[in-house]
A and B are shown apart, each in its own frame.
Chain A
Amino acid sequence: MKNIEKSFNTVKVLNGIQFSLKHGTVHALMGENGAGKSTMMKILAGIYKSDGGEIFIDGEKVSIESPTDSQNLGVAMIHQELSAIPQMTVAENIFLGREPGSRFFMDYSEMYDRTEELLKSLHVNIDPRAKVGTLKVADQQLIEIAKAISFNAKIIIMDEPTSAIADKEVDNLFKIIENLKKQGKGIIYISHKMDEIFRIADEITVLRDGTYINSWQAKDINNDILIKNMVGRELKDVFPKVKVPIGEVLLEVKNFSLKNKFKDINFEVRKGEIVGFAGLVGAGRTEVMNSIFGLVPPDTGEIYMEGRHIEIHTPQDAIDNGIAYVTEDRKNEGLFLQMGVGQNITLASMKTLSKGLGILLQEEKRIIEEQIKALRIKVHSPRQLVGSLSGGNQQKVVLAKWMMKNPKLMILDEPTRGIDVGAKSEIYRLMCEYVAKGNSIIMISSEMPEVMGMSDRIIVLSNGLHGGELGREEFEQERIMSYAVSNI
C-alpha cells in the first residue's frame, strides 16, 4: 500500500501511509488508539474507500471498491468483534452465502465434510455441527480464521485477535499462525500487546495520528523504542497526573462475590485517590463495578461509604449514595444518541432540576451551558444530537452528566477507549481536577500506559479473583501482567 489517504469530513485520519507485506510473514501494525490502524485495514478490506494512494497485490495494481472486491483479491479480515451468527452451526457459518449444493437444495453432508477437512488442516478440534454460540470465544475466532482460509485468502488481517482469549488459547492461535506462514500466507497483525508482537511478528510498522512513522524488522527493535515511536512523546506529557493529598477511606467493598463472575473481592478507595483496575478482558472488572452500581446485585458482599454500611439494589440507590458510573460502552450504556447534548447532560439530574412535576427550563439551560464550557465540549448548540459528536466529545458529555451531580466516587470503565490523543489528555486533566476536590475515581483500563500513568494504586483482577495490588512506586508492566494471569 502506497500513500494511502483517507479523510472523514475534513479531518484527515490517514495521510501518506505506506505498508508492505511479504508472503509467508507476519507484519505487525502498531499504534495508539486512533492512530489509524483499523481505518487502514478497513480500506484494504474494502469497507472504506481510500481518498488517495495505490494498492498493489503480487505486484499488480488493484482497486478495492467493496468488501467483495477485497475478498476476490484474496484479502480476509478477522474483526475485533466477531461476526458469526450464533444460532447457526460452524459449517453453516463458514459457508454462509456460498453453500455447496444445487440451485435450490443445500448439500449438507458436503458442507460438513469440507468443514471438517478445513478444521483438520488447521489442527483445530471443533465439531462442524456445533452451534457457534455455544463455543468459546477463542474457538469462534478460529472459525473466523477457518472461514478466511476457505476463501483461499492470501492476506489475512487479524485485528486484536487475542483481546478476549486466555494465554493457552493464544499459544494455540500462534501455532496456527505459524502454520499459515508456512503455507505462504501473509498476515497483518494488529495488537497492543508488546510481548505478543515480539513473539510472532517478522516486521513491525508504527502509525501515529494517521501518519506513517517507520517500519522495522522485529529483531532490530526493542520495546522502549517501539513505545516511544508509538506515543511520540514521553509518558509524563500525556498524563498530567497531579499529586493530590490522599484522605480517609471513602468506599470499602467487602467479600464481593457473584457466581461465575467474581469471588471474594475486597478493596477500599480513599478520598483523592485514583484507583486503577487492571487485568485481562474477562477478568471480572466490569462485572464488579456493575455490582457496586446496582446493575447486577452481587450474591454476597457489603459496601461501606465513609464507614457507613449502605445497601445498593438499583442504580438509583448508587446515585443517591454519591456514586457515578461511566460505562465502557458509552453508545449503548451511557448516551441517548437521538437526544440533544443538553438533555443528555441533565438526564441524571432531573430531580434537582425540577420543581414538583415541572422542569425548571431556564435553570436547566444555564447549567447545560456551564457544563459545556467547563468541559470544553465542542458543540455548536446544546440541541445538537449527541450521535453527531466525535468519540471524545461524546465521552465528555457522559462525564458532564455525572460531574454536575458532584458524586463522591466516579467509576470510569475504559474512559478513553476509541478517543484521539488530544481528547484523551483533556479527559485525564478533568479526572485530576475532579480528585483534587477530595473526590475519588475508580478507573478500569486495559491500556497499560494509561493505568500506570493515572493511578495512585493499581488493583489487578485475575479470572474473577483479586490478583494483586501495587502502589504507585511499584508500578511495572511485567508485575501487572504476572498478577493478571496469576489465577488462569
Chain B
Amino acid sequence: MEKTEKIEKTEKIEKTEKVERKINLKGFTSQYGTLCGLVGIVIIIAILKPKFLSVDNILNLLRQASINGLLAIGMTFVVLTGGIDLSVGSIVGASGMFAALVARTETGLPWYLAVLVGLGVGLLLGTLNGVIISYLKVPAFIATLGTLSIARGITYMASDARPVPGLSEGFLKIGGGSVGPIPTPVIILAVVLGICFLLLYRCRYGRYVFATGGNQMSARVSGVKVKQIICSVYMISGLLAGLAGVILTSRVTSGLAQSGQNYETDAIAAAVIGGNSLAGGRGRLWGTIVGFLIIGVMNNGLDMMAVSSYWQLVIKGSIIIIAVLLDSLNETKS
C-alpha cells in the first residue's frame, strides 16, 4: 500500500514537472507574443519606409506616444483592479485647459503653477471617480462615463469653447522642449514608468492592487483595505491624465477644449494589447509599454506610408481584437 503510494507520488512529481515546462513554453509565447508583434511591425514599416528608423523620426514617435503612454500606465493600474476608466480623454482636456488658463503670458504666473493646476485638476477628477466607484459603489464603466461627460462640459465652459493661445515660454518647454537630444515628454514618461514599476513590483501597494483585482473578498479577509486601493487607482489614472493634459497643451501651444477626445480608446487598447486582463488581477506593466509602443508605431508608420486615416482606424481596431483573441486562445489552451 505504502509502496504504491510512493510510486504514485513520484509519478505526480514527474507530471507536475512536465506541466511546468509546458507552462514555461506557453508563458513564453504569451509573454513575448506582443513583443514579437511589435518587432514585426517595426521591421515591415522599416522595409517599406527606411526613413522610419531615423533617429529624428524615432524621437518624434516617442514624443507623440508619450501622451498615450502616460494614460496607458494609469489605465493599467485601473485595469489590474478589474475596473476601467473611460474619462481619461476628458481629464486630459480639462486639466490641459485649466493649465493653459494659468499659463497665459498675461497672467504673469510661473509655469510650474500652471503645471500644478493641471495635475490638481486631474487628481481631483480622478478622486471623484474613485470615490464614486469604491465608496458609492457605482460600476466603474458608468461612473467614468459620467465624468467623461462632466469633465468635457466643464472644459467648454471654462474656455467658452475658444482656444486659449499665448502661453508662457517656460510652459511651452514642457511639451516642446528637449534635454539634449531627448524630448522632455519622453523623459517625463520614463521617470513615471520608473516610479510605477517600483510601486507595482517593489511596494506592498502594488501587491495589494494585484490582490484586489485577483480576488476582492480574499484581499479583504487578508486585511487589505480594498476600497482605498480601488479609489487610489482612479486617483493615479486621473493624476497621470492630468500630466498628459499639461504636456499635450504645451506641445500644441494652446489650450483646446476638444483636446484629448477619444484618447481613452488608445489607452485601453494599449493596456489590453499589453496582456492586461480586463477582469483584473492579471497583467504586467511592461506589457503596457509594448502596447502603447505598438499603437505609437502604427500611428507614425501608417502616417508615413500615407495610409488614409480611415484605414488607420480599421487597422488599429483589428490589431486590438487580434491581440486579445490570441491572449484568450492561450488561456483556453491551458
Question: By CB atoms of chain A within 10 A, which of B207, B208, B214, B218 has the most?
Answer: B218
Q: How far is the CB of A397 from chain B (nearest CB, A)?
A: 11
Interfacial residues of chain B within 180-227, with CB under 8 A of chain A in the complex: 198, 202-205, 207-208, 210-211, 214-215, 217-225
Q: Is there contact, CB below 8 Å, between A336 and B210?
A: yes
User: Contacts A9-B15, A316-B223, A359-B204 known; A335 to B218 CB distance under 8 Å?
Assistant: yes
In the assembled complex, the Cα of A359 lies from the Cα of B205 at a distance in Å of 9
Q: Answer yes or no: B17 CB below 8 A from chain A CBs.
A: yes
Q: Answer yes or no: A362 CB below 8 A from chain B CBs.
A: no
Closest A residue to B20 using CB positions = A380
Q: Is there contact, CB below 8 Å, between A11 and B218?
A: no
Q: Is there contact, CB below 8 Å, between B225 and A359?
A: no
Q: How far is the CB of B327 from chain A (nearest CB, A)?
A: 14
Q: Which of A12, A347, A388 contacts B222 (CB 8 A)?
A: A347
Q: Answer yes or no: A401 CB below 8 A from chain B CBs.
A: yes
CB-defined interface of B3-27 with A at 8 Å, one 1/0 digit per residue? 0000010011101110110000000
Q: How many of chain A's residues have a CB under 8 angstroms from any CB in B?
A: 36
User: Contacts A11-B8, A380-B20 known; A348 to B210 CB distance under 8 Å?
Assistant: no
User: Contacts A295-B221, A333-B221, A401-B222 known; A350 to B208 CB distance under 8 Å?
Assistant: yes
Q: Answer yes or no: A31 CB below 8 A from chain B CBs.
A: no
Q: Which of B11, B203, B211, B221 contacts A10 (CB 8 A)?
A: B11
Residues of chain B within 8 A (CB-CB) of A401 are: 222
CB-defined interface of A255-266 with B at 8 Å, one 1/0 digit per residue? 000000000000
B-side interface mostly: helix
Q: How far is the CB of B276 from chain A (nearest CB, A)?
A: 12
In the assembled complex, the Cα of A327 lies from the Cα of B223 at a distance in Å of 13
User: Contacts A336-B211, A339-B214 known; A315 to B15 CB distance under 8 Å?
Assistant: no
Q: Answer yes or no: B301 CB below 8 A from chain A CBs.
A: no
Q: How far is the CB of B82 from chain A (nearest CB, A)?
A: 12
Q: Answer yes or no: A338 CB below 8 A from chain B CBs.
A: yes
In the assembled complex, the Cα of A332 lies from the Cα of B8 at a distance in Å of 30
Q: How far is the CB of B18 from chain A (nearest CB, A)?
A: 10
Q: Answer yes or no: B316 CB below 8 A from chain A CBs.
A: no
Q: Answer yes or no: A164 CB below 8 A from chain B CBs.
A: no
Q: Answer yes or no: A4 CB below 8 A from chain B CBs.
A: no
Q: Is there contact, CB below 8 Å, between B221 and A359?
A: no
Q: Answer yes or no: B173 CB below 8 A from chain A CBs.
A: no
Interfacial residues of chain B within 298-324, with CB under 8 A of chain A in the complex: none
Binding site for B on A (CB under 8 A): 9-12, 293, 295, 314-316, 319, 325, 327, 332-339, 343, 347-348, 350-351, 353-354, 357-359, 361, 380-381, 384, 388, 401
A-B contact pairs, 7 of them (CB 8 A): A315-B221, A335-B218, A338-B214, A339-B210, A339-B211, A354-B203, A357-B205
Extra 10 A-B pairs, beta carbons < 8 Å, given A347-B222, A348-B222: A10-B15, A12-B8, A325-B221, A332-B215, A333-B217, A336-B214, A338-B214, A357-B204, A359-B203, A361-B202
Binding site for A on B (CB under 8 A): 8, 11-13, 15-17, 19-20, 198, 202-205, 207-208, 210-211, 214-215, 217-225, 281-282
Closest 5 CB pairs of A and B: A350-B204, A336-B214, A348-B222, A319-B223, A316-B223
